[in-house]
Chain A
């Protein structure tokens, strides 16, 4: 597609439930990133995909968080047993990763997750 698409745009869930957030990157972008933005906080790196593999998962806050990417395209971020502190905007971005990192990022509009 023309841009990075994220769904749902808003999600309200009860504490303890599992949620799945979806990201559809720009076609041909091999690099995909998930970031989290909590209220009043900066953007926090979660995970990076190159193709379908995730060489850097260092930002995932706990083992309740996992992510996968299939077909070098769509990615899903799963949060199990959600907690109130998981409430945040989850942003996905994609980038070309050809001959280095000289290309910019394109972000999606984000998924606003509220855990009640």
Chain B
């Protein structure tokens, strides 16, 4: 069935360093890839998204890259700050409405 694998499950970086989270999807018809940040006990919040007709998208310190051939996409956070600490989820959508989520990456930024 449809599946999204996400790695790593936990990631610790020093403040100021970069963090990279990778996801692989199984359904080649997927065409929409959002990333959500979820702080403890709070709602998932969209931080960036990319559609399949684009290879890369950037928003300040956050960027997402998509490789449709390999069916993987990645989240890049540069100059990490303690407030970036959270769980990050990738998702893949087909016609967007039915998101398949990855299992999450717990990012810890060490001051």
Does B bind A? no
Chain B contact residues, CB within 8 Å of chain A: none
